[in-house]
Structure 1
């Protein structure tokens, strides 16, 4: 989303000469007729520029958004996230402090791009926010929902007692676990590996605390555990903890002994631990499942080279040892 999307569309409206003409509408006044009244009191007006899809943002969700705020007649935003490659995930009710913006977000869907006009009571009030926002200022925000996660459901579930969690439907637990894993994936993709690890481990704990009743439920929990073990294994590799990575890879293999990702992760961990034979065994097993996978084949070649170098060094070391043993003792 362009932070200057508004400016390109109404640039002609803000020429200095036009501001001096009392019979000319201001840029915001010209925008109002094409906007919808969100609350019915005129305090929040909305124009959908690009439609989203799916349900609207739920209460207490965590949202990933790009936004830019503008004052009237200004061609630069007073705040914007468009310069960030990874905008941070914002929790409604905690991180989003502008009342109008939070209420506006609750009307939006994933992928939607909209503009909002906020009256002062839904923005910065009579005081404004000196020196950037004057008193009683009407502000315009351009907002795009990149993604959102229903963290409210997670919060509610975690606040339950262990007994309440166990009596909750398994489908609810699996939804909470999936949301936590999605949070972890977001953190991982932003290279925040410790945060990702915390999310994955919390999801593991929730699944581990479940007192299962039937074989069908146990099977569903195993299915939910598998991607968490795989994600934790890769995260531990990024954190330079190959022993822990190997532990989680082996747990994944206990669920699915032929899982190529788990075998590949084992190969990566063994390589980091300089256990080249074990690395080869795992990668050859993975290659048998996916013979044309470039990642597996490339890592297998790397392991072979490292293994050869290691054997050559051992050979040189033993040769030196035997050579030294053959030397006569000096008196």
Structure 2
């Protein structure tokens, strides 16, 4: 990561150009109020070879542009420094998959919150925070001395807007039932997004719980065919997610169950057929596995994953038959010896 040198000046977080061994020149980053400029861009003032130059950020909306402070879950890598920016006092940089944190709840340092609200997904920044926006006059003994200015190196890996979810789960069941379908689908989609986040971080149990939570939200039925079709489309995605997640958890029986639920909604869904074939192969139900995979191949004949799984099935079945043959020979050998 090529870190840009920034000193934060957000609503009173005093900007100061600092010199240090690690960061030879820290520039200044200017955003209006707490949300960046109206266009979603801000100017960077950087020092280079003794002359100042100006660069404009790409016009991506910042987290704070569209969202309120308490409505974000963030995956953030951060490191905090003291002294001449060479004394590390806090960091989660060694964590491969930082946990999701909520602004205003898990991240409570005022200056850091303000800085994060100016950032976009995938952006890295440096923020210098004066005591007023960091640990105050008293500091935080023994790590942070009184009246200490600190530097934070921050990278936003991901963020999820949880506003709709938070509001939904504060409602009673009766109130939830009266919500428009559009809002219910949005909440379910956000829960699925959380599930996807945890799945790709290989937190499969948490992902499974999130997918199931999303599924529970879609428990309502509708007399309108159009609305029921929308509900079923959302359920189908979750059934497929759960089928794959249970495979990762080595629960092939559950993976098969959710794959079959997906097939009830869409009998020609190649992904559902593939998942069922994988689950049956894991359970050594070779005939069923061949049936599911052959049907998937008919729909997508050039799908590499399906074709590779069929080859894997053939290999496993051959090994199984050879093992059966060997066992039969061992069983009948004593009888043959008595001629």
Q: TM-score range by the shorter chain?
A: 0.7 to 0.9
Q: Match for residue 259 of structure 1?
A: 269
Partner of 1:38: 33
Q: How far apart are residue 47 of structure 1 and its match?
A: 7.3
| Structure-2 residue corresponding to 1:151 | 162
Q: TM-score, normalised by structure 2?
A: 0.80
Greater helix proportion: 1
Q: Aligned-pair distance for 1:294?
A: 1.9
Residue 318 (structure 1) shift: 3.6
User: Which of 50, 56, 59 is the matching residue for 2:63?
Assistant: 56
User: What is the root-mean-square deviation in Å for CA atoms of aligned residues?
Assistant: 3.0
Q: For the residues of structure 1 that align with 2:83 and 2:185, how far apart are their CA atoms?
A: 47
Give, in whole Å, the separation in 2 of the partners of 1:168 and 1:315: 62
Contact map agreement 2:17 2:27 (CA 8 A) in 1? no
1:220 aligns with 2:230: yes
Q: CA deviation at 1:276?
A: 0.5
| Distance in 2 between residues matched to 1:139 and 1:55, nearest whole Å | 23
Q: Provide closer, same or farther for how the CA distance between residues 321 and 72 of structure 1 changes in structure 2, counting only shifts above 3 A.
A: closer
Q: Which residue of 2 aligns with 1:233?
A: 243
Give CA-to-partner distance per residue, 1:239-271, whole Å, 9 cap, x none.
Answer: 111100100000111111111111111111101
- Corresponding residue to 1:309 among 306, 311, 319: 319
5+ residue gaps in structure 1? 16-26, 41-45
Q: What secondary structure, in the 3-state scheme, does the structure 2 residue paired with 1:146 have?
A: strand
Residue of structure 1 aligned with 2:77, choices 66, 81, 84: 66
Of residues 75, 90, 104 in structure 2, which corresponds to 1:79? 90
Alignment match, 2:287? 277
Distance in 1 of aligned mates of 2:57 and 2:94? 21
Shift of 1:51: 4.2
Q: How does 1:1-331 map to 2 (within 5 A)?
A: 1=1, 5-6=4-5, 13-14=19-20, 31=27, 35-36=30-31, 38=33, 50-51=57-58, 53-54=60-61, 56-57=63-64, 58-59=67-68, 60=70, 61-71=72-82, 73-75=84-86, 77-208=88-219, 210-322=220-332, 324=334
Indicate the larger mover: 139-148 or 75-84. 75-84
The 8 Å contact of residues 65 and 87 in structure 1, kept in 2 or not, is answered as yes
Q: Secondary structure at the match of 1:63?
A: strand
Mapped to 1, the partners of 2:76 and 2:43 lie a distance apart of 17
Shift of 1:167: 1.6
CA shift in 2, pair 1:13/1:275, >3 Å: same
> Matched residues in 1 for 2:61 and 2:299: separation?
37
**1:269-293 deviation digits (Å, cap 9, x = unpaired):** 1011110111111111111222222
Per the TM alignment, residue 168 of structure 1 is displaced from its structure 2 partner at its CA by 1.3
The alpha-carbon deviation at position 133 of structure 1 amounts to 2.1
**Helix, strand or coil for the counterpart of 2:218?**
helix
Q: Alpha carbons of 1:295 and 1:146: their partners in 2 closer, same or farther (altered >3 Å)?
A: same
CA distance in 1, matches of 2:296, 2:287: 14
**In 1, are the aligned partners of 2:82 and 2:88 still within 8 Å (CA)?**
yes
Task: Verify the 8 A CA contact 2:63 2:117 in the aligned structure 1.
Answer: yes
Query: Is the contact made by 1:67 and 1:141 (CA closer than 8 Å) also made in structure 2?
Result: yes
